[in-house]
Amino acid sequence: MQASSKKITDLFGIEKPIIQAGMIWTSGWRLASAVSNAGGLGMLGSGSMYPHILLEHIQKYKQTSSKPFAVNLPLLYTDIDKHIKTIIDEQVPIVFSSAGNPKTYTSLLKQHGIKVVHVVSSSKFALKAQDAGCDAVVAEGFEAGGHNGREETTTMVLIPAVCEKVSIPVIAAGGIATGRQMLAAMVLGASAVQIGSRFVASPEASSHINFKNAVLDAQEGDTILSLKELTPVRLLKNEFYNKVEAAYAECANKETLASLLGKGRAKLGMFEGNLQDGELEIGQVSSIIHQLKPAKEIVEEIWNEYNTLKNAMV
Amino acid sequence: MQASSKKITDLFGIEKPIIQAGMIWTSGWRLASAVSNAGGLGMLGSGSMYPHILLEHIQKYKQTSSKPFAVNLPLLYTDIDKHIKTIIDEQVPIVFSSAGNPKTYTSLLKQHGIKVVHVVSSSKFALKAQDAGCDAVVAEGFEAGGHNGREETTTMVLIPAVCEKVSIPVIAAGGIATGRQMLAAMVLGASAVQIGSRFVASPEASSHINFKNAVLDAQEGDTILSLKELTPVRLLKNEFYNKVEAAYAECANKETLASLLGKGRAKLGMFEGNLQDGELEIGQVSSIIHQLKPAKEIVEEIWNEYNTLKNAMV
């Protein structure tokens, strides 16, 4: 295990194999910089940023941290070429790509000395990422928040399945918010963990306080993987979700669902704090997140719990 | 962890905290006896047995093992009073109840010195089981085969959530087929693991060889939690499932789904080996089960891997 987690800390040049997910409307420079300065890997979520906003966040990050950081890049982003240019021009050290084919940009980014990690939901996609030259993969289980795989494979099954198939390091995501869950993920074969929901519950997250409070209030069964006909997404149940459910009950087709979803609903919910009509993306693990804490404390608490449990095992 | 797993081995009087699930059409006396003789806890699946068949399996078990064993008792079983009488008359030491209210029979069983464990899919139900006087709970994640909870909470999230709420021991189920996954489950807070799918792939399982081979062939994404309008169940995708999917596409109601499912479909698939028209219940973890092995070897392999990994941790 020691050897395995070293693979990722060496690859990224970080102290602790704890990676903060690049979540839309949540992961700006404040959060990324706090996590990296605490010894983890901070990540900017470029999927909800205009090109000039991404540039601004990268520059602000650099003013507040000299540590390595990453940008999450959804490959289906409309203005992707502008994002790619910014990333190369600004010498971003690490890119986590998602939602698209890793073959398209991995070589280009690597030519510029950028480490590339691709997010996958199956060992088949993990192999494709490895073949495309990626340095590592994030294997993200069904329990994770936000957009998600169609096969619904959970972290408990996915991590060993992916580790069996690829030789590059595997970062576990989905259902991880504590040092205990981190240790379980490492036992399953992961070299590091990517944590999203837990960092939403921090003052540094750029999401709206209403959304953060909704995450703290969430109970078991309050999230659901929905909208599978479009792109599957794990949502916190609210009035918007009730409308989706009602549409399903009437056998809505893809077009009806797309029109019901509309545009800007994630921003409305997570950034503007409209808990009724917004789309609220969060993981199942929100049910065991009870307190808002500074990102630095979150990293330290997870890391300390992980080490304490690990050392107590024999 | 040592202390925690001792809770279950002491409670049941077994050597290894490895429990074989009481699966319908699969878990008869041969499997239960092989697992118990290997130091785990073998379990008869009474949900698919007529009252006289359960009696026969208990008696044959006793002829082949002197070790403790359990009976899985679905509380919605039609002839439940006859099963309860058999269990009491035959002095079955342990009952794992499922699919029903634990308040109904727990006191009666405990009055006869029987240990009672209830299967739950949420911490809310775990608390109800504890209040009903159960000695332990099985917390079963979304990835598990067969009938499943509505909230879809995965093992990675469910085990810590349940451990946070109850003081009785928690047995983890769902997504566990290897010593590595067992260690992850114990790290999450479990005192023991319940393993189903892995034991289907043994000669001692009473299910049909066609079904066993289908389990060995299963790939990631080949199972799905379906029929949520009736009782949610994780199925291996086949022609029968294709018909269910087609019915969903036409917005089938509960009655249509119930009539499509009909009666005897689980027996047809799992016991009679009709892979096209039968209902094939299996966990997600089937994707990493590649070999048919004697139950004794399965127990030993899991136990050895668990201990080797545990000892290698520090």
- What are A25-74's pLDDT values in tens digits? 999 999 999 999 999 999 999 999 999 999 999 999 999 999 999 999 99
- Structurally, chain A folds into a number of domains equal to 2
- Chain A: closest CA distance from residue B224 (Å): 8
* Per-residue pLDDT at A273: 98
Question: Above 80 in pLDDT, residue A2?
Answer: no
* Per-residue pLDDT at A129: 98
Domain of residue A225: give its range: 209-285
Q: Which residues contact B215 (CB under 8 A, 6 or more apart)?
A: B197, B200, B201, B236, B282, B286, B289
- What are A116-158's pLDDT values in tens digits? 999 999 999 999 999 999 999 999 999 999 999 999 999 999 9
Whether residue A271 is found in the same domain as residue A300: no
Mean pLDDT by 10 residues, chain B (314 residues): 76 98 98 98 98 98 98 95 98 96 97 98 98 98 95 98 97 98 98 98 98 98 96 97 94 93 96 98 98 98 97 83
Whether residue A115 is found in the same domain as residue A63: yes
Q: Indicate the residue of A188, A225, A250 with minimum beta-carbon distance to B181.
A: A188
The neighbouring-strand residues paired with A171 are: A138, A192
Task: Please give, one letter per residue, the 3-state secondary structure of chain B.
Answer: CHHHHHHHHHHHCCCCCEEECCCCCCCCHHHHHHHHHCCCEEEEEHHHCCHHHHHHHHHHHHHHCCCCEEEEEECCCCCHHHHHHHHHHCCCCEEEEECCCCCCCHHHHHHCCCEEEEEECCHHHHHHHHHCCCCEEEEECCCCCEECCCCCCCHHHHHHHHHHHCCCCEEEECCCCCHHHHHHHHHCCCCEEEECHHHHCCCCCCCCHHHHHHHHHCCCCCEEEECCCCCCEEEECCHHHHHHHHHHHCCCCHHHHHHHHCCCHHHHHHHCCCCCCCCCECCHHHHHCCCCCCHHHHHHHHHHHHHHHHHCCC
Q: Which residues contact A140 (CB under 8 A, 6 or more apart)?
A: A119, A120, A121, A148, A149, A155, A158, A173, A174, A194
Probe site for chain A from B120, B123, B162, B220 (most A CB atoms < 10 A): B220
- Chain A: closest CA distance from residue B116 (Å): 25
Identify the CATH number of the domain in which residue A82 sits. 3.20.20.70
Question: Is residue B212 situated within a structural domain?
Answer: no
Q: What CA–CA distance (Å, rounded) separates A154 from B221?
A: 11
Whether residue A106 is found in the same domain as residue A68: yes
Whether residue B275 is found in the same domain as residue B305: no
Give the pLDDT mean for A255-280. 96
Inter-chain CB proximity A310 and B314 less than 8 Å: yes
Question: Is residue B213 situated within a structural domain?
Answer: no
* Per-residue pLDDT at B298: 98
Whether residue A214 is found in the same domain as residue A98: no
Whether residue B55 is found in the same domain as residue B198: yes
Whether residue A68 is found in the same domain as residue A202: yes
Give the pLDDT mean for A216-236. 96
* Per-residue pLDDT at A1: 45
Question: Above 60 in pLDDT, residue A215?
Answer: yes
* Per-residue pLDDT at A50: 97
- Chain B: closest CA distance from residue A80 (Å): 30
Whether residue B276 is found in the same domain as residue B295: no
Whether residue A142 is found in the same domain as residue A15: yes
* Per-residue pLDDT at B84: 98
* Per-residue pLDDT at B4: 73
Inter-chain CB proximity A185 and B184 less than 8 Å: yes
* Per-residue pLDDT at A3: 57
- What are A83-129's pLDDT values in tens digits? 999 999 999 999 999 989 999 999 999 999 999 999 999 999 999 99
Q: What CA–CA distance (Å, rounded) separates A238 from A240?
A: 5
Predicted TM-score (pTM) of the model is 0.97
CB distance from B250 to chain A under 8 Å?
A: yes
- What are A284-308's pLDDT values in tens digits? 999 999 999 999 999 999 999 999 9
CB distance from A285 to chain B under 8 Å?
A: yes
Mean pLDDT rounded to a whole number for chain A: 96
Probe site for chain B from A122, A187, A198 (most B CB atoms < 10 A): A187
* Per-residue pLDDT at A4: 73
Question: Is residue B211 situated within a structural domain?
Answer: no
Inter-chain CB proximity A161 and B311 less than 8 Å: no
* Per-residue pLDDT at A5: 76
* Per-residue pLDDT at B314: 65
Evaluate whether ipTM surpasses 0.95.
yes
Q: Indicate the residue of A122, A187, A221 with minimum beta-carbon distance to B221.
A: A122
Whether residue B43 is found in the same domain as residue B85: yes
Whether residue A19 is found in the same domain as residue A129: yes
Whether residue B7 is found in the same domain as residue B47: yes
